Every structure is written in structure tokens, then in C-alpha cells.
Amino acid sequence: MTGLSLNRPADLVRLYSEATQALERAQALERQALRIKSKYMNQYELRRPVSAALWCDQGNHAFSGNDEGRSEYTRRAFDVDGDPITKTFTVCGPCDRKQPPFQALPPAVQDAVPGVVAE
Ligand SMILES: [Zn+2]
């Protein structure tokens, strides 16, 4: 600040005015930056695919909720009082293709397993 003196009232007024303007510009830039950040975060959150971890009841492991080959099986069971309850069995795509749950054993396997009677 060459040429300005804190002892001269006119210089003090000018410095105060310039400092005030600089502070107002900085605050305006901060508001603009926050608006841009907020807009970007909203777009990012909306476009980001939601993914959740699911549990594969067949293979006993976690897998991505984005697995399009996954299956859900529901079956009716009964509690200790004999009241019907619905159970959901979630299976990842690879496990479902490998060995679908609740699938009847093929006749050849039924014949080979003692105690299993083919229908
Ligand atoms: Zn699995």
C-alpha cells in the first residue's frame, strides 16, 4: 500500500472502502461456490445408481443388489403354534443358475437317495 497512510483520514476511508468491497466479493464468491456445490451434489446423488448389499440364502454370502439374475422365492411355512408364515428366500444369480432352491430332485437322484420316494 505505497502512498497510503493510516494517519490520513482520507486514506483510512479509502482502505476501509476497499476492504469492505473485497469482503463483499469474497462472500459473493462463497455463496456462488456453495450454490454450484449444492447443484452438483444434487445431480450426483440423483444420477448415482442405488446399490445395496443383499444376502444370498442359497450360498450364504453377500452380493450386489444390482445383480439382475437374482431371485426371490417365497414359501409358506408354519410357526410353533401352527400359524402360517411366509418366508422369503433370496438367491444371487450365479447360485440360482447353479442350483435353484426348492427344486425337486430329478428322478435319477431320488432313486439313488435312500428314504426319498419318487412321486
Ligand atoms: Zn449366491
**Domain region containing 31:** 7-48
Model confidence pLDDT, tens digit, residues 60-98: 999 998 999 999 998 888 999 999 999 899 999 999 999
| 70 & 43 share domain | no
Residue 14 CA to residue 68 CA, distance in Å, equals: 68
Looking at the predicted structure, is the pLDDT value of residue 48 above 70?
no
| 21 & 66 share domain | no
| 25 & 43 share domain | yes
Please tell me the predicted confidence (pLDDT) of residue 37: 86
Please tell me the predicted confidence (pLDDT) of residue 119: 45
Please tell me the predicted confidence (pLDDT) of residue 3: 82
Please state the pTM of the whole predicted model. 0.43
Length of the chain: 119
Answer for the pair 89, 58: CB distance below 8 angstroms, yes or no. Answer: yes
CA of 32 to the centre of ligand 1 (A): 48
Secondary structure of residue 89 in the 3-state scheme: strand
CA of 66 to the centre of ligand 1 (A): 13
Residue 106 CA to residue 119 CA, distance in Å, equals: 11
Looking at the predicted structure, is the pLDDT value of residue 38 above 90?
no
Give the number of domains in the chain: 2
CA of 53 to the centre of ligand 1 (A): 12
